[in-house]
Structure formats: C-alpha cells, structure tokens
A and B are shown apart, each in its own frame.
Chain A
Amino acid sequence: MNWLRKNSEVIILPLIYVVIFLLQKNKILNNYVIQIIMLAGVNIIMTQSLNLVNGMTGQNSIGHAGFMAVGAYVSALFSKIIFNAAAMPPTMQTIFFLLATIAGGIGAAIFGFLIGMPTLRLKGDYLAIVTLGFGEVIRSIIRITPAVGAARGLTGIPKLASLFWIFVFVVITIYICRNYMDSAYGRGCLAIRDNEVAADTMGINTSKYKVQAFVTSAFIAGIAGSMYAHTLRYLHPDVFSYTKSTDFLVYLYAGGVGSISGSILGAFILTALPEVLRFMNEWRLVIYGGLLVIIILFRPVGMFGGKEFAFLKLKTGGIQHIGFSNLFQRKTKKTIVANEEASR
C-alpha cells in the first residue's frame, strides 16, 4: 500500500490507458488516432531517455536517434529471425517480443557505453558533437549493410507492439526514471548537472555517474526503438537521421527539461500538434516551427520546466529542480560580478 502511494504513476497512467481503451472499444477513437497515440508513447519513452542525460545529468546529447536506430534494428532482426523460423502461439509471441525488446535495449546500451566511456570524460560540448556524429555514423553503416536491408529499408517486421505494450513500457520507463532521479545515483547526476566541479570535490565519481546515466538512457532509447519497429513494421535508415534527434530535443526542451511531467506532455502535445494542424496543409510545419520559437522565447525553461504533477513529484521532497533556479533568473550584472569575484 505504501509502495503504491509512493509510486502513484503505476496506478494513474494505467487509468489513462483504460480510458483510451474504452474509447477505442466504443469506436470513438479510430485507428488513425490510436496510431498517433502509439507513436506519442514511443516519443514519450524517447524523451524520458533524453531527459535522463540532458535534463538530469546536464550533458548534451543531440544524436539520440542513433541509439533508437540500434535498438530498432537489433530487435527487428531478432524477431524477424525468430518468427520466420517457426509459427508459435500468442503467448510465445509475446515472450519473444519482450526478449527482442530487451535485446534492442542491450544493443543500444552497449553502444552507449562505447560512446560514453571516452567522451564523457571530456568537458564542454564535445559529447553533443560526438553523439551527433555517432547518430550519422550508425545511419551510414545501416545504409551499406545488406543484412539489414541497406538503403531499401527493413521490411516484414511482425506487428507485435500494441497500445497495451507501449503503455506498459511508458509506465516502466517513467517508474525507472523517477526512481533513478530519487536514488543516490540520480542525486549524483543532479549534483553534476548543477555544478560539476563542486560535485567532484564532494567525492562524486563524475565520469562513472555520467556513464551510468548515459548507458541507462541508451537502454531506454533502444526499447523505444523496438516499440517503434514493431509498431510501424518497416524501418528505413533515413528515418533515424539528425532531424529525428532534433525532434526529441524539441519535445524535451519545449516540454520542460528536467521535469518528468514536462517531457511526457511535451512529447505528447508536439506529436499530436502536426496532426491536429493537418487541415492547414503545408502551413502546419511553419506554425509548428513558429510556435517552438515562441515557446522558447517566452518560456525558456519549457512549458512545464521546473513544475511537476503532484503524482510525479519526488518522494523525498522538492530537490529535483534546485539547479534550475539559475535557469529561471536572468543573469544580471550583479551575479556576473559575484562570479568574477569568486573566481579570483
């Protein structure tokens, strides 16, 4: 009972699922809307994954679609090989689907480790540039590998992901992220985000914490990739281009970086928005881009930056956004002078 009270997302999000499910059963939501909700779920998982690195640890990864691509291709290959080998009952299908998803996650996590290990030791924006490069390298490798369909794309992936499974993974992801933030590791990450040098001085092994967060994030991105592959049943390397990575960045920063509610709502609203604006034809993406600029100009921390739904608040109190106080205040001459004096 106590556990349920502390982890109320485990109750509230399934309630949302039940509502959507009932609406679907009563033919109020058609398949098109359900498909958009499923893609929004995938985007929510990805944005959570990005939030772990960009929002909580303060490292800038701008090539996260690369990890999604690894997860998608690994899991799609896995399930394609298994399901071509033998026909099987639905229970076994589900089990192998879950195995494929975990395989995708592990594949992405391995790449996350390989990328994070050397680059997270560097200071500055280098992680951003290297992740951008990584995403593009993965894409070029996929484009020239015949085993995964090369530039034609990978077809014939069994449709195993359903609204139910995507919801399950969204809940698991949110549960993991929230508890990660609340654990000693997460506190270490928050400390690194707020002031890396101070965190180092206080005895936090900064590279270790950064790599841990990065690998966890890559794992979650791989799972999102698997969901994506088993929803759309077709993968093309160009889908996971740099544009896809910026989409997730946009969801995260327009939604509210560092805030779990913000990244959920950002991903959901901004996935749905282009579809809602469809009646405007070619002008819809113009409005989308314009809105994004307006959001960032008038609310630089994002729509829900520094805020959290009550049921997603950290269990131990409001430490979550402590480092964001400096995001809210404009850097005045006074603070600049204070910083200068401190550095002497």
Chain B
Amino acid sequence: MEKFIQLLVYGLQLGSIYALLAIGYTMVFGIIRMINMAHGDFLMMGSYAVFFIVSLFFADQMLGPAIALFVILAGASITGFIGVGVERIAYKPLRNRPKISSMIAAIGVSLFTQNFFRAIPFIGPNPRTFPKLLKDVLFYVGPIQLSLVRIVVIILSIVIMSVLYFIIMKTTIGMEMRAASCDKDASSLMGINVNRVISATFFIGAGLAAISGAFYANNYPVLTVTMGATLGNKAFIAAVIGGIGDIRGAVLGGFIMGVIEIMISSVYSELAYGISFVVLIIILLLKPEGLLGKPMIEKV
C-alpha cells in the first residue's frame, strides 16, 4: 500500500509533465486541426533555454523558489516566441492545404531543429547535465517517503492548468480561441483576428511545453537534443486518450499516462512504452473520440 501511494505520487508527477505537454497538442489541434509533430522539440528548446539562463546568470548556486519560477517563466516565454515564429514561417502558408502537408512540414521542422541544435557548437551532440533548480527535501507522511520537489511540481502544474482554464473561459483572447476552434471562417467574419489567435495558441502551447521541459529536466537531469521526441509522442497519446481538442481531456489523459507508465515500469520497465500504446488502442476502439471528446459529426 505504501509502495502504491509512493508510485502514485511519482505517476502524478510524470503525469503533470505529460499533461502540460499534451495541452499544447490539443490546443493546436483544436484550432488548426493539425498534429504538430514538432511539439516535443519545444520541450527540448525550453529545457535548453532554462539551462542556459541558469548557467549564464546563476552559475553553481542554489536558486530560491521565486527566482526558479522566474527563470522557468523566462525560458517559457523565449520558447513561446520561437513557437510563434515556427508557426509563422512553416505552418501558416499551409493553413488551407490538406492537414497532412502541415504534418509533414512539422516533421521537417522537427528534423531541422534537432539537427540544428546538434550542429551549433555551444549546444552540441553531447548530453548536458541540468542544474538542480531547487534543493530537494524528503519528508515522511507515516511510512511514505515523499519528495518536496515532486509535490511542488504537481501543485504548480495544477495551478498553471487552472490559470490556463481561466484564460480560456473568462478572458477575451480565450473566448476568441474557443470561437476560432469552433469555426475559423465564421469567427473571422465576426471580427476576430484569427492569425493573432493562432499565434497566441502557439505561444501558450510552446510555453507550456517549455515549463514541462524544465520540470522534466529537474527530475531527469540529462538534456539531449532528441529528448523531445519520445516525450512528445507520449504526450500526443495522452491528448488522444483524453479526447483531442479538449483541454480537460489532455490533462486527464496526461495523468492517466503518467500513472500507468510508472505503475507498469515498477513491474517490468521494458514494457512501459508498449503498454501505453496498448491502452491507447483499447480506448480508441471502445471510445473512438477519446474519454472526454465529443463525437465529430461528419457533414456531407
């Protein structure tokens, strides 16, 4: 039982990383109906951005919680602007083309960024060690050993998601996003600047990916240029499990994925990646639109 709760905490923490990443997939899909294969690379860029900020300005010193948060947010905004730029250059010209074209463009962007980062000298192909942002404190609740950083990551992710939910439900830009995901052409006729909305979506998506990258790197402190690929795939599965296009679904799917992965890898680690796909296939066969998704009605 203690082991179960401990694994649950680990799972929820990994799940919060997946959830933050899956939100980006789901938001982009909701608005421009495109699977952004390069989304995992935003995570990679984000964690490198945080890494460079820390090693440039705060070399070898422990950060306080406020500074750590500030650094992460700075990395997130840098990545957010990169995300907007990528959308402007590579995806915008393809917006009215078949979806698969923009997916191939995204694969191209992903190939380009990974290899570009590998090629430029100050990043290079060798893995970097991510500095510890916060001093970890272990404490006990009864017989269960808990780590403060893990709990903080879970709570912080939930706070970020709630803020995002508030932005989408209550603010003007959120309302515009919902309108654009409902019907892009009609909302543009209603005076919504769809380009601005899409840019905002990419900014938020890439920023959240960067935050999740920082959280991930804080726990598994090895940075490589290809770290985003596997994580991106898993987050994509999480978004699909929850029902792609629905933010609550992405969060739910992310937590499900994280918990399942940790539980299974505690039994047999080789199987974890495969099992998550088996879960995906089963859920899709039983409920093709995902757990919280609404069935799409095909109009003729």
- Scan residues 248-300 of chain B and give those whose CB is less than 8 A from a CB of chain A: 268, 270-271, 273-275, 277-278, 280-281, 284-285, 288, 296, 298-300
User: Cβ of A300 and Cβ of B101 under 8 Å apart?
Assistant: yes
Known: A133-B281, A296-B94, A331-B96. A254 touches B104 (CB 8 A): yes
User: Cβ of B270 and Cβ of A143 under 8 Å apart?
Assistant: yes
B35 on interface, CB distance cutoff 8 Å: yes
| Count of chain A to chain B residue pairs whose CB atoms are closer than 8 Å in the complex | 131
- Scan residues 82-99 of chain B and give those whose CB is less than 8 A from a CB of chain A: 90, 93-94, 96-98
* A231–chain B nearest beta-carbon distance, Å: 24
User: Cβ of B115 and Cβ of A140 under 8 Å apart?
Assistant: no
* B149–chain A nearest beta-carbon distance, Å: 30
Known: A293-B90, A331-B96. A253 touches B274 (CB 8 A): no
User: Cβ of B115 and Cβ of A130 under 8 Å apart?
Assistant: no
Residues of A within 8 A of B273 (CB): 136, 140
User: Cβ of A292 and Cβ of B298 under 8 Å apart?
Assistant: no
User: Cβ of A289 and Cβ of B108 under 8 Å apart?
Assistant: yes
* A214–chain B nearest beta-carbon distance, Å: 16
Residues of A within 8 A of B237 (CB): 129, 133
* A304–chain B nearest beta-carbon distance, Å: 15
User: Cβ of A137 and Cβ of B277 under 8 Å apart?
Assistant: yes
Contact of B284 among A130, A136, A293 (CB under 8 A): A130
Complex Cα spacing A126 to B93, Å: 26
Residues of B within 8 A of A125 (CB): 35
Interface flags for A236-258 (1: CB within 8 Å of B; 0: not) read 00000011001001100110010
A285 on interface, CB distance cutoff 8 Å: yes
Tell me the count of chain A residues lying within 8 A, CB to CB, of chain B.
Answer: 51
B105 on interface, CB distance cutoff 8 Å: yes
A27 on interface, CB distance cutoff 8 Å: no
In the complex, the chain B residue whose C-beta lies closest to that of A296 is: B105
User: Cβ of A293 and Cβ of B274 under 8 Å apart?
Assistant: no
* B217–chain A nearest beta-carbon distance, Å: 22
User: Cβ of B111 and Cβ of A123 under 8 Å apart?
Assistant: no
Residues of B within 8 A of A132 (CB): 233, 277
Residues of B within 8 A of A123 (CB): 296, 298
Interface centre among A123, A253, A288 (most CB of B within 10 A): A253
In the complex, the chain B residue whose C-beta lies closest to that of A128 is: B35
A23 on interface, CB distance cutoff 8 Å: no
User: Cβ of B277 and Cβ of A126 under 8 Å apart?
Assistant: no
Residues of B within 8 A of A54 (CB): 100
Known: A143-B270, A300-B94. A292 touches B240 (CB 8 A): no
In the complex, the chain B residue whose C-beta lies closest to that of A252 is: B104
In the complex, the chain B residue whose C-beta lies closest to that of A141 is: B274
Known: A197-B298, A292-B104. A140 touches B112 (CB 8 A): no
Residues of B within 8 A of A141 (CB): 274
Known: A125-B35, A140-B274. A293 touches B185 (CB 8 A): no
In the complex, the chain A residue whose C-beta lies closest to that of B95 is: A331
Complex Cα spacing A293 to B104, Å: 8
User: Cβ of B108 and Cβ of A292 under 8 Å apart?
Assistant: yes
Complex Cα spacing A342 to B299, Å: 10
* B245–chain A nearest beta-carbon distance, Å: 11
Interface flags for A303-344 (1: CB within 8 Å of B; 0: not) read 000000000000000000000000100110100100000110
Contact of A253 among B101, B113, B271, B299 (CB under 8 A): B101
User: Cβ of A242 and Cβ of B104 under 8 Å apart?
Assistant: no
B109 on interface, CB distance cutoff 8 Å: yes
* A236–chain B nearest beta-carbon distance, Å: 15
Residues of B within 8 A of A18 (CB): none
Residues of B within 8 A of A119 (CB): 284-285
**Interface residues on chain B, size class:** 35 or more
Residues of B within 8 A of A139 (CB): 274
A17 on interface, CB distance cutoff 8 Å: no
Complex Cα spacing A124 to B294, Å: 13
Complex Cα spacing A232 to B120, Å: 32
Interface centre among B101, B108, B185 (most CB of A within 10 A): B108
User: Cβ of B104 and Cβ of A126 under 8 Å apart?
Assistant: no
User: Cβ of B115 and Cβ of A246 under 8 Å apart?
Assistant: no
B200 on interface, CB distance cutoff 8 Å: no
User: Cβ of A283 and Cβ of B119 under 8 Å apart?
Assistant: yes
Complex Cα spacing A136 to B96, Å: 31
* B240–chain A nearest beta-carbon distance, Å: 5
User: Cβ of A118 and Cβ of B270 under 8 Å apart?
Assistant: no
B192 on interface, CB distance cutoff 8 Å: no
Complex Cα spacing A67 to B240, Å: 23
A88 on interface, CB distance cutoff 8 Å: no
Interface flags for A47-58 (1: CB within 8 Å of B; 0: not) read 000000010000
Contact of B101 among A130, A286, A288, A296 (CB under 8 A): A296
User: Cβ of A144 and Cβ of B101 under 8 Å apart?
Assistant: no
B125 on interface, CB distance cutoff 8 Å: yes
Contact of B233 among A242, A253, A254 (CB under 8 A): A242
Complex Cα spacing A130 to B107, Å: 18
B175 on interface, CB distance cutoff 8 Å: no
Residues of B within 8 A of A128 (CB): 35
A29 on interface, CB distance cutoff 8 Å: no
Residues of A within 8 A of B113 (CB): 289
Q: List 7 A-B contacts (CB under 8 A).
A: A136-B277, A141-B274, A246-B37, A253-B104, A286-B119, A290-B108, A330-B96
Q: Told that A128-B35, A300-B94 touch, could you supply 6 new A-B pairs with CB distance under 8 A?
A: A123-B296, A124-B296, A137-B278, A288-B111, A289-B116, A296-B105
Chain A contacts to B: CB under 8 angstroms: 54, 60, 118-119, 122-126, 128-130, 132-134, 136-137, 139-141, 143-144, 151, 197, 242-243, 246, 249-250, 253-254, 257, 282-283, 285-286, 288-290, 292-293, 296-297, 300, 327, 330-331, 333, 336, 342-343
